[in-house]
Structure formats: C-alpha cells, structure tokens
Amino acid sequence: MDALLRRFFWSGSLNKKSIHWIKGQFLCDAKEEDDLSLRSFREFNLALLAKQSWRLLTNPNSLWGRLLKRMYFPRTNFLSAKKGSRPSWIWASLWEARNLMRKGTIRFIGNGQSARAFNDPWILGMNGEAISTGTNDNTLVADLINGQSRSWNSHIFPPLVDSVFSQRIESIPIGTEEAKDFLA
C-alpha cells in the first residue's frame, strides 16, 4: 500500500513508473518535521492493533480477552505473554503491537499490591522498561513501601537499584492503602 501511494504521488498513476525525487520515508515523516506527512500504513496498522491490545489489557474479562488468555497466556498476563511457536494471525498481530504499546505503558502506584518492582514498568522516565536485576524477582512495589508511615523504604534501595533510580522512586507519590495500582 505504501509503495502504491508513493507511485501515485510521483506519477499520478498506479501503472506508470517515474523518478522519485526524495526518499519515500520523507513522505511519511511527521508534520512537525515540515514534511508532506502521507500516512504510513504499517504504522497506522500498528496503532490500531495497539488500541486493541490496550483493550485486552484493560478489559481482560471480555469474551475475546478470556478466550485469548486461555489459548495463549493462561499462566501470565498479556504484557508478559510469549508469542508461541504456532500463533494465529490475530495473536501474532496483537503480540507485535503489544511491544509498541509496552513502551508507552506505565503502572501508577496506589498501594503497590499488584505491581512487581522488578518486572513491571512503574518508574517515570523509563520508557516502558522495568528495572532489571537479572533475576526473575517477584518482589512487589508494596514491599518497598513502609506501611505505617506510607513512605518509601529507601534504606533497602541501594543494594537493589542505583542512585538514579532511587531518586526517581522517592519522587513517586504513594497512594493510600485502599488505592489500587492501575495502568496508564
């Protein structure tokens, strides 16, 4: 589709070939870059698939959410799911878009009971990445919070994360014990 669009743009016909005076990528760059801003069908498709992935993530009890969970990720969540050896076309497409969506997803901390400290993205400025310790640690963010004073247990940070992450963690406001963690 992108090639047909570029061919039509340069020659005015889908059948006739002509000289392309600039790269095709230049045609699909953002408007802020002062380019022509023709839509890239691949990126548009990924955006629509990411929207469906977000629906799957935020509404896992829907009929199709339960079906996909049972078939492709019965023991984990959508963000941690594997593609599998023989995925359906739908699952492979959603899985591909999930990687894009993962970059912009963050878990806001309420009580910290559902966010894993070293596997979930919950620190601002990490571009959707989780803190990596090299192990499959299931420590919850709630374990890093002092339950009585509702403040961060900053004395346990140094062995776990470097000083940059410690400062970022301490700047995150902590919700009440009743507040649940949520994705945004």
Taking only the tens place, the pLDDT of each residue in 139-175 is 788 888 887 888 888 777 656 566 677 777 888 888 7
Q: How far apart are CA 116 and CA 97, in angstroms?
A: 22
Domains of the chain: total: 3
123 and 111: one domain?
yes
> Quick check: pTM over 0.85?
no
Structural domain that includes position 76: 42-104
131 and 180: one domain?
yes
123 and 180: one domain?
yes
Task: Decide if 21 contacts 3 (C-beta within 8 A).
Answer: no
99 and 111: one domain?
no
Q: How far apart are CA 95 and CA 76, in angstroms?
A: 14
Q: How far apart are CA 145 and CA 162, in angstroms?
A: 18
- One-letter identity of residue 138: N
120 and 154: one domain?
yes
Task: Decide if 106 contacts 128 (C-beta within 8 A).
Answer: yes
Q: What six digits make up the tokens of 20?
A: 């392309």
91 and 112: one domain?
no
Q: What six digits make up the tokens of 179?
A: 């507040």
For residue range 28-48, list pLDDT tens digits in order. 555 555 555 556 777 788 888
